[in-house]
Structure 1
Amino acid sequence: MKTERRHDIDWLRVIAIGLLLIYHIAIIFQPWAMFIGFIRSEESIDNLWKPMTMLNVWRIPFLFYVSGMGLYFSMKKRNLWQLLFERTKRILLPLIFGIVAIAPLHIIIFQKYYNLPLSYYPHAGHLWFLGNIFIYVLLLSPLFLYFMKKQEGKFRKGLSTFMSNPLGPLAISIVFVLEVIIVKPQIFTMYAETLHGFFLGLLAFFLGFIVVYSGKKFWQTVSKWKWLYIGLATVLFILRLLVFETNSPGYLIVIESNCWIFGVFGFGYRYLNKPSAALSYLSQAAYPVYIIHMFALYAGAIVILPLKISPIMKFVLITTFTFTVCYIIYDLIIKRIGFLRPLFGLKWKFNKVAPRQISIQKTK
C-alpha cells in the first residue's frame, strides 16, 4: 500500500523538538529550576518565562498528537506484529538504552556542578515520553487496526463530515476537559510521570490517530480556519496571563492548548507540506537530538553559567552550545556508527558491497 508522505507533519515534529530544547534551556534561568532537577542560574530572566508559559500548555500534547499521527502512517504498511516489532526497535530499545546510558549523564553533571556526591543510577529523566508512547501503542494498536480495516465504513465517513466544520476540531477539547475534571491536576503543565500526563497523552495520541484517519477534511478545515484557532488561543493566553497569573482553570487551558495545536496544524498544512533536503536531514536528526539534548544542555550550563556576562548572553550561548554539540554528536558519531544507530531510534545501516566487487570476489 502506497503511503503519502506528509512533509508538514515531519516539519512540525522537527520544530517541536527545537522548541523543546529552547524551553528546557529557559528553565535554567528560572528561580525554581532546582526543584525539578535543573541546574539554575544565579541570575533569573523573568521575562523569558512569559512566552514559555504560552508554549508550555501545548508543546507536550502536540508531540503526543504527532506521535498518534505517525502511528497511522506506520500502520498503513504493516500488520499488527510488524508494527509492534518496529515500535519496539524504534521506541523501547532507545528508551532502555537511554535509561541506562544517557539520562544518568546529565544527573551526574548536576551532581558535579553542585558538589554533591557523584552517583550513578538508571533513570528515565526526559525520556518518560517514550515510555508513555510505547504503552499507548500496546494499548491502542488493536483498536486502531480495527479502524484501519473499516476505512470505508460509516464511522470514518461520519468523522470526515464532523471534521469539515470548524467546530469539529474544537469539540475534541471536550474529552480533555473531562480529563482535568476527573484527574484534577494541581498544575496542568506537570506532564512527566504523572497520572494527568499519562491520560492527557493517551487522549492526544488517540485523537492524533483519529484526525488523520478522518481524512483530508480535517486538514482542509484547520488550514481554512487557522487564524480563528490562533485568535482564540491568543485571547485565552492573554486572559490566562492577565487574570489568572498564567494558571487558568483546567477547562480553559485545554481549549487554549487545542486551539494552538490546530492553528499550528493549519499553518503547517498550508505552508510546510513540501519536501526539501533540509527536512530530510532534520527529520532523521530530531529523534537522536531529543534523546541527547539534556546532556548537551547541562554540559553547556556548567561551562557558561560561571562566566561574567549578562544572563541574556548566557542564554544565547547555552542555546548555541546545546544545538552545536547535539549536531556534532549526531552527525559525527550517532549517524555514522552502525551499532549506535538503533540505540537512538535510527535504522540499521549496512555497508553495501558494489556488484563489481561481488563478482570479483566470486572469481577468486
Structure 2
Amino acid sequence: MPSTDRRHDIDALRALAFALLILYHVGMYYVAAWPWHLKSAHPASWLQWPMLALNIWRMDLVFLLSGVAFALLARRAPPLRLLGRRAWRLLVPLVFGMWVVVAWQAYAEAVTRGAVAPGPGAFVLRYWAMGPWPEGAFSGSAFGITWNHLWYLPYLFAYTAAMCLLLPLWRHPAGQRLRAACCALRGWWMLLLPALPLAAYGLLLAPRFPATHDLLHDGYLHPLYFTVFAYGFLLGTDAGAWAELMRLRRRALVLALVALAAYMAARSLAPDWSEARQALRALYAWSALAAILGFGHRWLNRPWPWLAWANESVYPWYVLHQTLIVATAFMLAPLHLGPAAEPLLLLAATLLGCWLLTDGLIRRVPWLRPLFGLKFRRPATATPAPVRPAAEPIPR
C-alpha cells in the first residue's frame, strides 16, 4: 500500500466518474423517449437499458467521492477556512459557467425549439439581461438564466456548508463513537445496512418530489445525495472500512448484478411493484458503489502517470463538456449524418474541444484558471541556475 497520504484511488475514480459523465451526456442526445436539451434524429431504444443501469448510481458516486475528499481536507483546515476555500472553488466556476459557458447550450436549445431567431450575439445579450423569454424557450428559461449541468456545484456547496457546521459535532466524543460504529460494519452488514436509508427515500420521497435540480425544490434528491456525501465523509480516513470494502469487492459486484437483473425484470414484468422496485434500486445503487470503491482501492491506489494531468483537467472538462456536446450536436444536425458517423464525430469533437481548451488555454492563462476551478498560478519565469563553486562536490 502506498505510504503517502494522497489517495490515488479517489483521484482516479473521480476522473473516471466524470469521464463516464461525458459518455452519459452524449448518450442522452440519442436515448429514445428520454427528454433532454436537444435530441438526435437517430434515437435508439436499446440505449435505455445501459443508460438506466448507469443513471441509478452515477451521481451518487460523484457525491460520495466528494464526501471522501471533504473528509481528507477537513483533517487540515478549520471549518470556516475550509468553507471559504470551497466557496471560492465551487461558486466562482458556477457563476462564470452560468453566464458564459452554459449560455451557448441555452442558445442551441432555444433555436432548435423555435423560441428565438438564430443569432448568437443578440441571444447572449438577452441572456445576460435574463430575458424575458417565451415559455419553455430552454431548460431553466423561467428563471431567465440557467445552470444546466452545473447544478452539481451549488448542491455540493450546500452539502459542504452543512457538513462544516456539523464538524464540531463529529469531532465530539459522541460523534466519534457514532462514526466508529458506522465504519465498524463488516461483511453483509456493510453491503446491506447503508442501502436502507436510500430505499426509504425511494419509497417515501421519490413519488412525491420529482427531480428538479433547482436547489430549492428537490425533496428526494437532497436527502439521497447528502446521505451518500455523508457516507463518503464517514469512510474518508478509516483504513479499516476501506480494507473491508476491498475485501468485499467481488461479493458486492455479484450482489449489484443480481439486484440490477431483478430491478430490470420488475420494471419490465411487474410495473405495479413500485415498492419492490425502489428497494431493489437502492440495493443495486449501494452494492454498485461498494464494488466500485473496493475494486478502485485495490487496483487504482497508485501514482498513475496520467493522474496528475487528469486531476487538473477534470474540473475544466466538467464545466465545458455538455456545452460542447450541445453546440456540436446543433451544428451537426443539418448535415444529416448517419446513426454511426454522427455519434462518433460528436464524441470525438467533444473530447478534442475539452482537451484543446483546457490544455491549450485554461491551464496556461492565470486569470482563467480560477474560473474553471483551478488554483491560481502565476506564469513560470525562467531563473538562471545557481553557479556552483569549483570546489563544491557534485551530488551523486
2:332 is equivalent to residue 304 of structure 1: yes
* Structure 1 CA distance for aligned equivalents of residues 359 and 171 of structure 2: 37
In the superposition, relative to structure 1, how do residues 160 and 186 fare at CA in structure 2: closer, same or farther (>3 Å)? Answer: closer
Of 117-126 and 348-357, more deviation after overlay is shown by: 348-357
In the superposition, relative to structure 1, how do residues 63 and 110 fare at CA in structure 2: closer, same or farther (>3 Å)? Answer: same
* Structure 2 CA distance for aligned equivalents of residues 128 and 329 of structure 1: 22
In the superposition, relative to structure 1, how do residues 218 and 151 fare at CA in structure 2: closer, same or farther (>3 Å)? Answer: farther
**Aligned counterpart, 2:13:** 12
SS of the residue 1:67 aligns to: helix
In the superposition, relative to structure 1, how do residues 150 and 115 fare at CA in structure 2: closer, same or farther (>3 Å)? Answer: same
Q: How far did residue 304 of structure 1 move?
A: 2.6
* Structure 2 CA distance for aligned equivalents of residues 244 and 9 of structure 1: 33
The answer (yes or no) to whether the contact 1:8–1:273 under 8 Å persists in 2 is yes
AA partner of residue 231 (structure 1): V
In the superposition, relative to structure 1, how do residues 354 and 150 fare at CA in structure 2: closer, same or farther (>3 Å)? Answer: farther
2:213 paired residue among 169, 192, 216: 192
- Greater CA radius of gyration, 1 or 2? 2
**Aligned counterpart, 2:192:** 170
In the superposition, relative to structure 1, how do residues 205 and 149 fare at CA in structure 2: closer, same or farther (>3 Å)? Answer: same
Of 16-25 and 236-245, more deviation after overlay is shown by: 236-245
**Aligned counterpart, 1:53:** 52
* Structure 2 CA distance for aligned equivalents of residues 5 and 228 of structure 1: 27
**Aligned counterpart, 2:296:** 268
AA partner of residue 142 (structure 1): L
* Structure 1 CA distance for aligned equivalents of residues 64 and 294 of structure 2: 14
AA partner of residue 178 (structure 1): A
2:103 is equivalent to residue 81 of structure 1: no
The answer (yes or no) to whether the contact 1:166–1:222 under 8 Å persists in 2 is no
In the superposition, relative to structure 1, how do residues 146 and 4 fare at CA in structure 2: closer, same or farther (>3 Å)? Answer: farther
The answer (yes or no) to whether the contact 1:57–1:253 under 8 Å persists in 2 is yes
**Aligned counterpart, 1:362:** none
**Aligned counterpart, 1:212:** 236
Encode CA deviations 1:236-265: one digit per residue, 9 max, x unaligned.
Answer: 212222331397622221111111111011
| Residue identity (%) | 25
Q: How far did residue 187 of structure 1 move?
A: 8.7
The answer (yes or no) to whether the contact 1:26–1:49 under 8 Å persists in 2 is no
Of 233-242 and 76-85, more deviation after overlay is shown by: 233-242
Q: How far did residue 309 of structure 1 move?
A: 3.5
More helix by share: 1
AA partner of residue 365 (structure 2): I
What are the ranges of 5 or more consecutive residues in structure 2 without an aligned counterpart? 117-122, 131-144, 386-396
Q: How far did residue 78 of structure 1 move?
A: 0.8
Q: How far did residue 96 of structure 1 move?
A: 1.7
* Structure 2 CA distance for aligned equivalents of residues 158 and 30 of structure 1: 43
SS of the residue 1:276 aligns to: coil
Q: How far did residue 3 of structure 1 move?
A: 7.5
Q: How far did residue 185 of structure 1 move?
A: 3.3
In the superposition, relative to structure 1, how do residues 344 and 150 fare at CA in structure 2: closer, same or farther (>3 Å)? Answer: farther
2:265 is equivalent to residue 242 of structure 1: yes
Count of paired positions? 352
**Aligned counterpart, 2:201:** 179
The answer (yes or no) to whether the contact 1:3–1:77 under 8 Å persists in 2 is no
In the superposition, relative to structure 1, how do residues 186 and 241 fare at CA in structure 2: closer, same or farther (>3 Å)? Answer: farther
Q: How far did residue 313 of structure 1 move?
A: 2.5
1:290-329 superposed matches below 5 A: 290-329=318-357
In the superposition, relative to structure 1, how do residues 43 and 221 fare at CA in structure 2: closer, same or farther (>3 Å)? Answer: same
**Aligned counterpart, 1:25:** 26
* Structure 1 CA distance for aligned equivalents of residues 326 and 176 of structure 2: 51
Q: How far did residue 222 of structure 1 move?
A: 1.5
RMSD of aligned alpha carbons: 2.5
AA partner of residue 233 (structure 1): A
2:146 is equivalent to residue 123 of structure 1: yes
AA partner of residue 72 (structure 2): F
2:249 is equivalent to residue 226 of structure 1: yes
2:158 is equivalent to residue 135 of structure 1: yes
In the superposition, relative to structure 1, how do residues 216 and 169 fare at CA in structure 2: closer, same or farther (>3 Å)? Answer: farther
**Aligned counterpart, 2:119:** none
* Structure 1 CA distance for aligned equivalents of residues 171 and 6 of structure 2: 18
The answer (yes or no) to whether the contact 2:69–2:236 under 8 Å persists in 1 is no
